[in-house]
Amino acid sequence: MITPKTNIKTSVLSINKLCKSFGENTVLNDFDLQLYGQQNIVVLGKSGSGKSVLIKCIIGLLRPDSGKIILFNKDVHQLNDIELDKLRVKVGFLFQSNALYDSMTVRENLEFPLRRHWIKHPQKEVDQMVNQALTDVRLLHTIDMMPAELSGGMRKRIALARTLILKPEIILYDEPTTGLDPITGKEIIQLMVDIKKKYGTAALIISHDMNCVKLASDYVVILLEGKCYASGKYEELILNEDKKVRQFFE
Amino acid sequence: MTEIPSFKIFLNEIGQTSRFAYRFLIQWFKPRYEIAEFFRQCYVIGYKSLPLIGLTGFIMGLVLTMQLRPTMIEYGVESQIPVIVAIAIVREIGPVITALIFAGKIGSSIGAELGSMKVTEQIDAMEVSGTNPFKYLVVSRVLATTIMLPVLVMLSDAISLYGAYLGVNIRGMTSFHFFWIEVFDSLSFNDVLPAFIKTYFFGFAVGIIGCYKGFNSNKGTEGVGKSANSAVVLSSILIFIIDLLAVQVTDLLGFN
């Protein structure tokens, strides 16, 4: 049994009154969220509602207009580049488009974050970590293949392996099942559940796939008009009578 | 009235490109140095461009000589063909044509590569993986284009002159040794140095425009195509502008 990465009672991510606009288009407007150790929160919202903007703000790829993002007790947007790099080692990010490097093999894709972060690993350890991450996603045989040779589902799993390689304490999933057929989508969701069980990670999942919400969430947040419109467990929200909430579950 | 917004966009583009170039100048000497990526880019940009540059250089020298020949015979100065061809190739045609071909091959490939990396979030993934994408992708490529283009121009000039030698010998008889003596006697320091220096600026222009267009690509795959296309068009125009300025500067400095 692997020791869980995070404590169930500790807040690992706290978002307070987050605002972000692009020109006159306000995407996030006083958005609040708390994520605890070993908890999976699914953020549900319409396309273009600012879900991806939210996780890009969390990881420091976008700067919010106002509000605070506290990740492992550190204000993300007050950190310098080195501090931010150290913090990012603890956070995995699964991109919607997978973002695998086309010019690199699967092995090189997985080695890239290991070689680039401030921690230096010997080659033997790097090989072990790559093999372990690929074994976790059941794709060890693709180690020397190029991303273009893989199917959409395999690419998603390789991207997940790359996310896992640094043994993150939080994983941010940006629409992990988008563009996949329902069967492959369910496999990815099962993988996400297995990862949580095995490593005890917390996760923030951006999705509008109801299967994902049902199977992978401990808690659901509905993002509407830039705010946390409703939240609760899946079983609670499905019984909610509010018209705007119901449209997600019907 | 429609010209005003277009002119604004044009000025904005110049401003953004200048800022991008300034960011390069600030970042290139700061650690962390991406030495492995720089050498990989030198290989991709320099070595892999060699066959194309060599072939076009050879044809350029051969054709130039064959086109010049009738006029030179008409004026009774056929023996001066190596001199005229050498000066034309080394001072102007070699650097400019090589830079334009380089812009077509490398500028478009950098624009398309970085553009597709941008739209598929690979640049964001790089940043999340503890890498400064500007240093890793832009600085290494711009340095590689700046350093490799002068080398390619030198090789292209040499191959062009060899093509010119063959061109001379299609209808006449000139020894290899005599041809090269004529070439080197006709060239002076004032011919070679300004031509060599301006190629660094051509290389820098191709690299910075390709990277700027790719790095700021948007609108999905359509944007990638536009980035590649505008990288070639803009860097080609810039090559001619730099060439024009280089002539003025060398004239002012007394190199002509």
Within chain A, all domains assigned CATH 3.40.50.300 are found at: 1-90+168-186+201-250
Q: Which of B48, B118, B121 to mutate to test the interface with A (most CBs of A within 10 A)?
A: B121
The structural domains of chain B, with segments of one domain joined by +, span: 49-252
> Mean pLDDT, to the nearest integer, of B150-170?
94
Interface contact B125-A89, CB threshold 8 A: no
DSSP state of B106: I
What is the full DSSP assignment across chain A?
-PPPSS-TTSEEEEEEEEEEEETTEEEEEEEEEEEETT-EEEEEE-TTSSHHHHHHHHTTSS--SEEEEEETTEEGGG--HHHHHHHHTTEEEE-TT----TTS-HHHHHHHHHHHSS----HHHHHHHHHHHHHHTT-GGGTT--GGGS-HHHHHHHHHHHHHTT--SEEEEESTTTTS-HHHHHHHHHHHHHHHHHH--EEEEEE--HHHHHHH-SEEEEEETTEEEEEE-HHHHTT---HHHHHHH-
- Mean of pLDDT values over B169-178: 85
- pLDDT higher than 60, residue B19: yes
Nearest CA to B235 out of B147, B145, B154 is that of B145
Kindly report whether the peptide bond that precedes residue B32 is cis, defined as omega within 30 degrees of 0. Answer: yes
How many CB pairs (< 8 A) connect A and B?
48
pLDDT tens track for A93-121: 999 888 999 989 999 999 988 887 766 77
Q: Name the residue facing B128 among A81, A88, A118 (closest C-beta).
A: A88
* Residue A227: per-residue pLDDT: 87
Tens digit of each residue's pLDDT (9 = 90 or more) over A43-69? 998 888 888 899 999 999 999 999 999
Q: Give B124's contacts in chain A (Cβ within 8 Å).
A: 56, 61, 95, 99
By DSSP bridging, strand A219-224 and strand A202-207 are unpaired
What are the mean pLDDT values of chain A's consecutive 10-residue runs (250 residues total)?
Answer: 58 91 89 91 88 91 92 90 86 91 92 78 88 89 94 91 89 89 88 88 90 90 89 89 85
The domain A1-90+168-186+201-250 is classified under which CATH number: 3.30.565.10, 3.30.70.990, 3.30.750.24, 3.40.50.300? 3.40.50.300
From B25's Cα to the closest Cα of chain A, the distance in A is 19
What does the pLDDT look like over B21-54, one tens digit per residue? 999 999 888 887 888 899 999 999 999 899 999 9
